[in-house]
Amino acid sequence: MSYVVIARRYRPQQFADIAGQEHITRTLSNSIANGRIGQAYIFAGPRGVGKTTAARILAMALNHEDGPTPTPDINSPICQAIIQGKSMDVMEIDGASNRRIEEIRNLRENINYAPSEGRYRVYIIDEVHMLTNEAFNALLKTLEEPPSHAVFIFATTEIHRVPATILSRCQRFDFKRIPLNTIINHLKTICTSEKIEIDDDALLQIAKKADGSMRDSQSILDQIISFSGQKITIKEVEESIGVINQEIFFDISDKIKDQNLKEILLVSRKLFTSGIDLTELMLGLEEHFRNMLVAVSMESVELLDVADTFSEKYKQQINSYNENDLVAYLNIISQTLADMKWAQQPYLKFELALVKMAKMSASKSIEQILEKVDMLKKKALNKTETPVVETSVPAEPQLQLSTIKEKWPAIVQKVHLIKPIVASILEKFELKKFEGSHLGIKLECNEFQQDIVNKNNTLIVETLEEEFQQQMKLDIGFAVEKTEPGKAPENLSKQKKEKLEKLEMLKAKDPLFKQFVDEFGLEPE
């Protein structure tokens, strides 16, 4: 007989066997016992937490010979047929591979047939969010008014992708991630049954790697048994599934705390050449500093999901860090993880993060700062008072017109980078005088250029203030040559006159075009 994996051999066959979902199993059991059976259910939650398993148990409970009953006899012929996938009354449909409207139309046609053995025809659609919009629409009417013998059970990991019109016709059950201790206890039971010797640290590491998924934890255990045999240690777990030893994170954090840059660079290079996945390493370091933050904040290690050996180490570190530094470390790691996703050389981002944390000066609390201030005050009071000798402060040299003229080309260049049309007019400015903060200017121009200068007065002033580091105001005397619409100034070249005349005519005809030209400061070349 071929080998059957642990996840299938130890799949729950009763509601009571489903771990970590008591709020759901209790509701379903009571609804069956009281005869309050819904026409459609939707099970939502992460992968490997019991959604499809609960759907199969519900199908067995509804179709049992003595049922419906919340505790079906799995040895009965109907239950065995459902377990083996041979029942004509329970159809499991994969939403990913049967997502088109044609499959749903076939389902609608077949649903009217009465059950062949049990009381209900149960349709279990896994990953229902993969159905197309057309398929969902085809299902709506059947779902709202199904035959009395039909029950729909949907399962999905992405409930937000299921249309609201479908959700409103179903009883919704949200499956939770399974707690760490629940997974550990379940794995212990399996190991005892399989006669596998495994230490607690190894079980903890497997459960953490599963991230709340019972099926994932069982698959990992299956893999490690193949690697280690009948005796499993934490070292073998780390080697088998690539879990990073916690000692590495303590080593890194110690070097960061000591601000030992040389050792930081050496250890980062060693980790990189060892082939460890840098993203996994950063995630592990993030969890490590998070554990440290919890330990420091709570002044206890009770909330940490770590082995006893490392729990003691965290306890020893409580007085070595402060909360502000740990939050800063976590922010650096979080930003680095985001940067590493798109970096061509993730190692450089990883190394830079370690250097940043190592060179970060230790933050001080408000109490420490106030204590330092008090100490300085006391020192100042203890000193003998010395006569204060007034010293004259040389006045800053005042800005001269000659200086402005000298730097005017640089100002024009700065404005040119922002608005070239304004810069071309600045070249015509005649700087006449500078008194206080007022810069007197004469400008011979046409009405169009005058309008541009007035609209960009703020830009010119800000550029001057940035250059000379003082407040400035412009007093501009305009010598404006009046221009009738459609007629260019006399002092322009013939070609430019023609272009300007055309521009003025277009502006006169089209107010929207005039607004566009005036807004962006356009003029013929």
Class of domain 180-241: mainly alpha
Please report which confidence band the pLDDT of residue 224 belongs to, taking 50, 70 and 90 as the band edges: very high
Is cis: bond before 68, omega within 30 of 0? yes
Range of lowest pLDDT (174-178, 209-213, 432-436): 432-436
Residue 486's pLDDT is: 47
Dist CA 465 CA 474 (whole Å): 11
pLDDT digits (tens, 9 = 90+) for 311-322: 888 888 888 888
Task: Inform me whether the pLDDT recorded for 16 exceeds 60.
Answer: yes
| Topology agreement, domain 180-241 and domain 246-359 | no
Residue 394, pLDDT score: 52
Query: Please, what is the average pLDDT of the chain?
Result: 83
% of the chain exceeding 90 in pLDDT: 31
Q: Side by side, which strands form the sheet with 438-446?
A: 430-435, 438-446, 473-481
One-letter-per-residue 3-state SS of 312-335 = HHHHHHHHHCCHHHHHHHHHHHHH
User: Is residue 332 scored above 90 in pLDDT?
Assistant: yes
Better-predicted residue by pLDDT, 81 or 478: 81
Parse the chain into domains and list their residue ranges. 6-174, 180-241, 246-359, 401-520
How many Cα atoms sit within 13 Å of 101 on the Cβ side?
Answer: 5
Per-residue pLDDT tens digits for 353-370: 999 888 876 555 555 566
- Topology of domain 246-359 in CATH is Zinc Finger, Delta Prime; domain 3 (1.20.272)
Considering only residues 144 and 189, tell me which one the structure prediction assigns the higher pLDDT: 189
C-beta atoms surrounding 211 within 10 Å: 15
Q: Give 303 or 160, the one with higher predicted confidence.
A: 160
Phi, psi angles (nearest 5°) of residue 320: -95, -15
What kind of architecture, by CATH, is found in domain 6-174? 3-Layer(aba) Sandwich (3.40)
The CATH classification number of 401-520 equals 3.30.300.180
Least trusted range by pLDDT, from 144-148, 247-251, 489-493: 489-493
Which DSSP category does 159 fall into? G
Q: Please give the distance of CA 247 from its chain centroid, rounded to a whole number.
A: 28
The arithmetic mean of pLDDT across residues 195-212, rounded, is 90
Burial class (CB in 10 A: 0-12, 13-18, 19+), 178: buried
pLDDT at 523: 60
Is the pLDDT at 392 greater than 60, yes or no? Answer: no
User: What is the structure's pLDDT at 521?
Assistant: 54
Rounded Cα gap, residues 138 and 105, in angstroms: 7
